[in-house]
Structure 1
Amino acid sequence: MPSRTRSARYARRRQRRMARVEHDLTDAQWAALTTAWGGCAYCGATDRALQKDTMLPISRGGRYTLDNVVPACGSCNASKCNLEITVWLRRKKYDERAFLVRQVEVARQVAAAPLDA
């Protein structure tokens, strides 16, 4: 019997969305991103496990790509939910410009670096 819980429905919906788009973030790129950021991209926390957070959420057409993914602690990732990054940064009163400039720098640095795995 199929599960009828809300979380199961959301999980199936997310699976369908994820299968519809092509994700091209490699494990080596993810490792390089986490190293380059040195912690949560939003709050800077280094004492927590990091998760892949899409700046443009999957539910809004985002994908796991080098330009769209940043490492985030669970707290920031859950808080951001499926908001657009600029809206969430303003709500949290983080420095939006500094984050966006840093994100571009890190993405360029990772893209230019040879990924010898």
Structure 2
Amino acid sequence: MATGGSRRTRAARKRSKRMARVEHDLTAPQWAALTDAWGGCAYCGASDRALQKDCVLPISRGGRYTLENVVPACAACNASKCNDEVTAWMRRKRLDEKAFLVRQYEVRLALRSVQSLDAGGHGTAVPSTGMESVSTTVEVVGSAAVAMSSPTACQPMKPCVGENRTTA
């Protein structure tokens, strides 16, 4: 008497349990804003394909569907990345890791500005695309990426999960 089913069925059951344990708060308007801001796949830049929601920190590693953790990805990049840590996957695929981190920071910053305007009606207006006023650099220090919007102010971003790099 087979009760477990196929491997695919068991994996789907585990995924649905993992998904039910955490709260996902990405709304349809936020997803639309994300896809507009990125203008295509966040990893390879393809704009002629259908986009899927990809978690930068995979759900299997504690991530969830939030504005901070989701980027649009084409099916090929999403399937290739699987549940890998994003920066290690990008290095393996020889994609520009620094450009991705900078762009992700810019998009998050612009969408936060738009959200704060929508929520309370306070704050400063965001330019038409939301990107013109953002000047950002990202430095990788140890295993943490630090985003700097000006020479004097820096905000640490989340450290890379599962990565233990030492400086020589």
Q: TM-score range by the shorter chain?
A: over 0.9
Higher relative contact order (CA 8 A, sep 6+): 1
* 2:70 aligned residue: 69
TM-score of the two chains, using structure 2 as the length reference: 0.65
Moved over 3 A (4+): none
Supply the AA of the counterpart residue of 2:32.
A
5+ residue gaps, structure 1, are none
Amino-acid identity (%): 67
* 2:159 aligned residue: none
Supply the AA of the counterpart residue of 1:80.
K
5+ residue gaps, structure 2, are 120-168
Per-residue CA deviation, residues 4-29 of structure 1 (Å, 9 max, x unaligned), is 01111111110000000111111111
Aligned-residue Cα RMSD (Å) equals: 1.7
Aligned 1:3-42 pairs, distance under 5 A = 4-42=5-43
How far apart in 2 are the matches of 1:107 and 1:24?
15
The structure in which a higher percent of residues are helix is: 1
The alpha-carbon deviation at position 3 of structure 1 amounts to 6.6
Supply the AA of the counterpart residue of 1:10.
A
**Secondary structure, in 3 states, of the residue corresponding to 1:53?**
strand
Rg bigger for which structure?
A: 2
Number of aligned positions between the proteins: 116
**Secondary structure, in 3 states, of the residue corresponding to 1:22?**
coil
